[in-house]
Amino acid sequence: MNYRNILLRGTTILKKNNLANADIDAECLLSYSLNKSRENILLNLDEKVNLTKFKNYISLIYRRRNKEPISHITKKRFFWKSDFFINNKVLTPRFETELLVEHILKIFRFSNRLNMIDLGLGSGCILISILKEKKQWVGTGVDLSKLAIKIAKNNAKIQQVYNRIRFINSDVDKYIDGKYDLVVSNPPYINKVGYNNLDASVKDYEPKSALYGGIDGYKIIEKVIKKSKCILKTKGILAMEIGIDQKYKSIKFLENNGFYVQKIIKDYQNIDRHIFAIKL
């Protein structure tokens, strides 16, 4: 068997099970199982694979066939400019969240020193990506999940920003000290109906606590806004990700809590996704 045959086998199994990106998934899993880049595989399609490696690859294809996310199988996800260690205890970083990082870096392009906090740290993808770009910034990461904090610590060590982060295992609405120039948050914001209708590839594999935002989806958004009001300096910025159709109610919460909404950023699907608000 060569790479070409094995990829065809993998793609066919995934296509039969209606996986949308069957060919890309098959390539990613072969790359992972052989520990070779996708480019290397595609440039050497006639290269032979032994039976043991073939069986190992097919076992990964079967896991994907059962809708296990690629990031859980490979235990990593590329976000912004780096690979992050991921498992089923944290949300897999989403591509649209990179836009939050991009806009923060744009807004604060002239700020050399800054103290920021991430409410709902998860894998640490947002905070770590920003601190890697801004070598003199320091940050605090808060998460209710002990396991998420452990994973974020691990990612921070690998990416050499551990010494600039203070980790807090706490609920957002419990005591958090300090005054910050920037609060960033990607809170769980999916409502009850949305959660019940999630695809199995998300619902069966990612933690509910990272996705579900209460019956109306605003439970944690409200907590984040109220906490930000207390811990932000005057003129400090809250940069927060929201779900589909959550713009107007979020703006109302923000204005009722003394914020001026400066900017709303749309994602790749033209959905209002990130709110930037200034504490007055």
Ligand X SMILES: C[S@@+](CC[C@H](N)C(=O)[O-])C[C@H]1O[C@@H](n2cnc3c(N)ncnc32)[C@H](O)[C@@H]1O
Name the site residues for ligand X (rule: CB under 6 A).
90-91, 93, 97, 120-123, 125-126, 142-145, 148, 171-172, 186-188, 209-210, 220, 223
Can you give the length of the chain in residues?
A: 280
Query: Are 115 and 127 within 8 A, CB to CB?
Result: no
Comparison of 47 and 194: residue with beta carbon closer to ligand X: 194
Whose structure tokens read 């002239």? 110
Return d(Cα 224, Cα 232) in angstroms, integer: 11
* In the complex, residue closest to ligand X by CB: 122
Distance CA 62, CA 75 (A): 16
Residue 166 half-sphere exposure toward CB, CA atoms < 13 A? 13
Of residues 42 and 99, the one with the C-beta less far from ligand X = 99
Cβ proximity to ligand X, 57 vs 195, nearer residue: 195
What secondary structure letter does DSSP report for 167?
A: E
Complex with ligand X: residue 122 or 217, whichever CB lies closer: 122
Q: How far is the CB of 170 from ligand X (least distance, A)?
A: 7
Minimum CB separation of residue 24 from ligand X in Å reads: 21
Tokens encoding 74: 């490979």
CB of 196 to ligand X, least distance (A): 18
Strand pairing category for 82-85 and 76-79: antiparallel
Residue 222 Cβ, how far from ligand X at the closest point, in Å?
10
